[in-house]
Amino acid sequence: MTSSSPSSAPPPQVHLRFFAGTIEVTTTPREGLNLVEGLGLPGCALDERTGSLRAPAFCYADLVLALQRHQKEGAVAGVVDEARAYATLELVAQSPPAPRDYQREAVEAWRRARGRGVVVLPTGAGKTEVALMAIADRQRATLVVAPTLDLVRQWHEALQRRFAVEVGVVGGGEHTVLPLTVTTYDSAWAHMEHLGHRFGLVVFDEVHHLVSESYALAARLSLAPYRLGLTATPERSDGRDELLGGLVGPIVLRKEIDELEGRFLADYDTETIAVTLTEAERAAWTTARATYRQFITDERISLGGPQGWSNFIKRAAGSAEGRAALAAWRLQKRLAFASEQKLHVVDDLLLKHPGARTLIFSDDNATAYAVSRRFLVPVITHQTKVKERTRLLQAFADGSLPILATSRVLNEGVDVPDAQVAIIISGTGSIREHVQRLGRILRPRPGKRAILYELVSQDTSETFTSERRRDHRAYR
Amino acid sequence: MPLQGLSSAQAEALLTELVAVAVEHHGRTQGELVAALAEVDVDPSLQRGLRAACKLVIDQCDFAVRDDVDPADLRQRLFGAAAAARAAGTFVRDAVVAAVAADAGLDVPTFLAMLYADLDEARLVDASALRAMSPAELVRRWDLAEVQALLLRALAVRIDVEARPVEVRALLRALKLQQLLFEPVPTEGDGLALVVDGPAALFSQSLRYGLKLALLVPRVMACRTWRLEAMVQLKKGGAPARFTMAGKAAVDDATAAPPSPLVQGLLDELPAAIAALLPGATVAENHALLAVPGVAACVPDVVVTAADGRRCFVEVLGFWSRDAVWKRVALAQAGLSTPAVFCVSERLRVSEAALDADDASLLAFKGSLSAKKVAERVGRLLAP
């Protein structure tokens, strides 16, 4: 279809400007805006606050393509693009390893999808390598977004090592923006309004985080034409993973753990160990559970519905009985999650695997610190300062501190290549969390066989939690 | 202003009690303070108020880590020794702890207490600032924090203010700094009304701009009278609710900064100079906004109102940036609904030729500003 001017006025020149995560479209002369509005440009709406058209930044690529078409057809005189502020780079990869077949396949599939898409690979299968190949392929200023500061540190090292250039960091008290920059999802959300025009490629590591309401906005505020998502577990229980297609692109390649086990991932076993509460713990657990259940019954609270839990919390705050019920719920959970017997089992397992790199996971910080004090092993939680956690991860890698306790911060992505044993003292019912924790010990080494132990308090609600989180092919 | 359902008197009484607890915990740990505050007993209906007041009190405290030992260093020594003992097959927990504690010159209980003394809950409370604060001041901070907290959930805000130009300019600067957009709403009288939200709000309502809107609150509250009307989404996915807040600032005209000498000179001399050209015209300090969407917005210094009600603004740009002047030129070129004379110092190196010869909007001056010349320009712009 050919666009044409509805009047005899000469076609206007169109100006694109990035403003706070949006693309502002103006014309010279100003009167030409009506004509351009009539072209129905992708994502554009009239903004009377500024007397301009405006589109979300993520529509930039489609907008430019449409304007180029209209210019060719004579509907606009020209396009002045002041929105894009990213550089084309001349990166040279320093001694890149020979890519594995599926890594090459992933980059080719991503390229075919116009440089937009998600690659799903199990932990340890080399997702970072796929991103490094994509960055070298596109040669555009790139922003890597990762969920934790540990991962930011890891990406920073990987980019610097591969391309031998200075790499910027935004987050954790740093704000250095360079053509290759790494940031956290939180910082991307906070700063994308100012950074969104400075990168032509955005890599979203652990991309399943991106679709939460606030983080998704970070993707919309960026004009990057090229987008790559990486994850081992794209599915979310809230169904929001459906948004990934619009924000990043379709899944262009997917491989599961059992497809790569043995050749590209370490062989592994999983073992669930049932533990019993001590008599005193059982008595306290029973009393606490009765108090909690009594309140639920008296108040006729249905925990099955979507609002069930928040309803309980709300009602609990309103009376002394409610507050006692909440305290009882916390107590019974604590007893099941960190029972004395579990700590005895941890002791036995540490003796069973002397010298093995071992990660001990818990659901809460208090248990992680209790493990640290009892077994004299270091712990990493969100409160551990960057300097100390870097030192601890290095000591874990070189074997001088081969046992590490943690709550949730090492669940994802952090590269601990030699980890061989994982002990799950407690966790949520999330399949994703459990698969990610398994992934920590699957990086291959010659002759390595990894093992994951899951400790479950018998005859408590933890039994159901355990069943829920093991509902994945990696555990069958 | 509601304080989580408490009256000001109730809030002051509760805060007095909580401050006493905090002061009593000066020098003890944050964990102990938090536990003690949680023990304060109030009527169940006031629980939310209690939680808010506790946070307010904790926020006014400082927290310090003991500086006589380095917990990270103690940990490094302890875990290194433990790992070495495990590798040698000689690991006995208590023996490792005792050896490292002795090496650090500490007894075992102190050593274990110091091991994680840098965690938040182990930091030491410094309630000095709180001691010097009156309950009334805390209530005032609560008030501000509550308005700001509400705006964190705001989708859009309408701001109505009556204020001096200096406060309106401060508000406009804050809007610009936060990259928020606004649409002026016509009002009667000297007031200013703006509907404010973020650029991407054009496509979908979002809480993205809540923090930025909250950061405007001190600027709004500095105005002589103010009113905030916010569409607030309190629950995820819930229907937005309308909240209205209003107040008055304790503005003291006697101590307020006077207009600049150039503007004061105009206010003094322009009435006489204009009288000959426009009989019955009045001259006053201006409070209104002059804006063209997408071009610029400003608050001129002076407004001249002719006998027939038509108005002309005068703005004096003495030591401003050249960029500000070019924005005024763009305003004049865009066509203003209310005409304006922009008086520009020659120091800014902007010539009157920037506009068409018959456009009276740009007046360059050297040194002092002639009220007679300004009156002549106003007269031309208001000529029938």
DSSP per-residue codes, A420-464: -EEEES---S-HHHHHHHHHTT-S--TT-EEEEEEEEETTSTHHH
Section A313-325 average pLDDT: 83
pLDDT, one tens digit per residue, over B173-212 is 899 889 899 988 877 777 889 999 999 888 887 888 999 9
Partner residues linked to A201 by β-bridges: A142, A226
A79 vs A390 pLDDT, higher one: A79
pLDDT class of B8 with cuts at 50, 70, 90? confident
| B72, B292, B293 ranked by CB distance to A388: nearest | B72
**How far, in Å, CA of B124 to CA of B244, rounded?**
40
Listing DSSP states for A200-263 in one string gives SEEEEETGGGTTSHHHHHHHHT---SEEEEEES----TTSGGGGHHHHT--EEEE--HHHHBTT
CB A237 within 8 A of CB A220: no
The CA angle B187-B189-B192, to the nearest 5 degrees, is: 50
Contact yes or no for A49 and B115 at CB 8 A:
no
Unique residue bearing structure tokens 């003890």: B28
Contact yes or no for A30 and B93 at CB 8 A:
no
B107 vs A306 pLDDT, higher one: B107
pLDDT, one tens digit per residue, over B301-310 is 899 999 999 9
- The residues, ordered by sequence, that sit 6+ positions from A316 with a Cβ below 8 Å of its Cβ are A295, A322, A323, A325, A326
**How far, in Å, CA of B166 to CA of B287, rounded?**
9
Strands, sheet with A78-81, edge to edge from the N-terminal-most edge strand? A45-47, A52-56, A22-28, A13-19, A78-81
pLDDT class of A267 with cuts at 50, 70, 90? confident
Section B18-40 average pLDDT: 93
B120: chain A residues, CB-CB within 8 Å: 383
Coil/strand/helix, residue B4: coil
B193 vs A320 pLDDT, higher one: B193
Burial code of A197-225, b = ≥16 C-beta within 10 A, e = fewer? bbbbbbbbbbbbbbbbeebbbbbbbbbbb
A43: chain B residues, CB-CB within 8 Å: 203
| Residue B173 CA: distances (Å) to CA of A246, B184, B216, B330 | 36, 15, 10, 19
- DSSP letter at B6 equals B
Q: How many Å lie between the alpha carbon of A376 and the closest alpha carbon of chain B?
A: 6
Residue B320 pLDDT > 70: no
pLDDT, one tens digit per residue, over A133-143 is 999 999 999 99
Section A348-369 average pLDDT: 93
Which of B197, B203, B292 to probe by mutation at the A interface, max A CB count within 10 Å?
B203
B171 vs A427 pLDDT, higher one: B171
Q: Is the peptide bond before B279 cis (omega within 30 degrees of 0)?
A: no
A383 vs B126 pLDDT, higher one: B126
pLDDT class of B252 with cuts at 50, 70, 90? low
Q: What is the dihedral of CA B183, B186, B188, B194, to 10 degrees?
A: -10
Contact yes or no for B183 and A49 at CB 8 A:
yes
B331 vs A44 pLDDT, higher one: A44
| Residue A39 CA: distances (Å) to CA of A22, A34, B91 | 19, 9, 76
A464 vs B52 pLDDT, higher one: B52
Contact yes or no for A221 and B200 at CB 8 A:
yes
- DSSP letter at A99 equals P
Listing DSSP states for B304-362 in one string gives EE-TTS-EEEEEEESS--HHHHHHHHHHHHH--SS-EEEEEEGGG---GGGS-TT-TTE
pLDDT for B224 equals: 86
pLDDT for B26 equals: 94
Contact yes or no for B199 and A20 at CB 8 A:
yes
pLDDT, one tens digit per residue, over A193-251 is 999 999 999 999 999 999 988 899 889 999 999 999 999 888 777 778 888 999 999 99
The CA angle B88-A343-A358, to the nearest 5 degrees, is: 50
CB A142 within 8 A of CB A200: yes
Task: Say if B87 is an interface residue toward chain A (CB within 8 Å).
Answer: yes
| B78, B81, B206 ranked by CB distance to A217: nearest | B206
**How far, in Å, CA of A14 to CA of A66, rounded?**
12
**How far, in Å, CA of A317 to CA of B47, rounded?**
7
Mean pLDDT rounded to a whole number for chain B: 87
B202: chain A residues, CB-CB within 8 Å: 22, 45, 47, 54
The model's pTM is 0.76
Contact yes or no for B45 and A318 at CB 8 A:
yes
Residue A4 pLDDT > 60: no
Nearest to A126 by CA among A228, A268, A265: A265
> Which tokens in the block code for residue B249?
């600032």
Q: How many CB atoms lie within 10 A of CB A238?
A: 8
Residue A186 pLDDT > 50: yes
> Which tokens in the block code for residue A404?
């590490």
Task: Say if A313 is an interface residue toward chain B (CB within 8 Å).
Answer: no
A304 vs B306 pLDDT, higher one: B306
Q: How many CA atoms lie within 13 A of A204 on its CB side?
A: 32
Contact yes or no for A378 and B48 at CB 8 A:
no
B83: chain A residues, CB-CB within 8 Å: 377, 400-403
- The residues, ordered by sequence, that sit 6+ positions from B156 with a Cβ below 8 Å of its Cβ are B195, B196, B197, B201, B205, B230, B231
- DSSP letter at B74 equals H
| Residue B32 CA: distances (Å) to CA of A14, A364, B54, B198 | 63, 20, 13, 42
pLDDT, one tens digit per residue, over B205-242 is 788 899 999 999 989 988 889 999 999 988 777 788 89
**How far, in Å, CA of B35 to CA of A468, rounded?**
35
pLDDT, one tens digit per residue, over B74-113 is 999 999 999 999 999 999 999 999 999 999 999 999 999 9
pLDDT for B1 equals: 47
Nearest to B167 by CA among B250, B110, B241: B250
Q: Chain A residue with minimal CA distance to B195?
A: A49
**How far, in Å, CA of B20 to CA of B133, rounded?**
12
Report for A4-13, A59-68, B177-186: range of highest mean pLDDT: A59-68
B73: chain A residues, CB-CB within 8 Å: none
> Which tokens in the block code for residue B243?
């909240």
Residue B358 pLDDT > 70: no
pLDDT class of A5 with cuts at 50, 70, 90? very low
Section A368-390 average pLDDT: 90
CB B332 within 8 A of CB B362: yes
**How far, in Å, CA of A375 to CA of A431, rounded?**
28
Range of weakest confidence among A223-227, A436-440, B198-202, B249-253: B249-253
Q: How many Å lie between the alpha carbon of B195 and the closest alpha carbon of chain A?
A: 10
Determine what percent of chain A falls in helix, strand and coil, rounding each to the nearest 5. Answer: 40, 20, 35
Contact yes or no for A56 and B200 at CB 8 A:
yes
Q: Chain A residue with minimal CA distance to B179?
A: A20
Mean pLDDT rounded to a whole number for chain A: 89
- What kind and span of H or E run contains A324? helix A320-337
- The residues, ordered by sequence, that sit 6+ positions from B41 with a Cβ below 8 Å of its Cβ are none
Residue A38 pLDDT > 70: yes
Section A97-124 average pLDDT: 94
Q: Chain A residue with minimal CA distance to B194?
A: A49
pLDDT for B66 equals: 78
pLDDT class of B164 with cuts at 50, 70, 90? confident
**How far, in Å, CA of B209 to CA of B213, rounded?**
6
**How far, in Å, CA of A51 to CA of B337, rounded?**
15
pLDDT for A260 equals: 78
Strands, sheet with B225-232, edge to edge from the N-terminal-most edge strand? B181-185, B192-197, B154-162, B225-232, B241-248
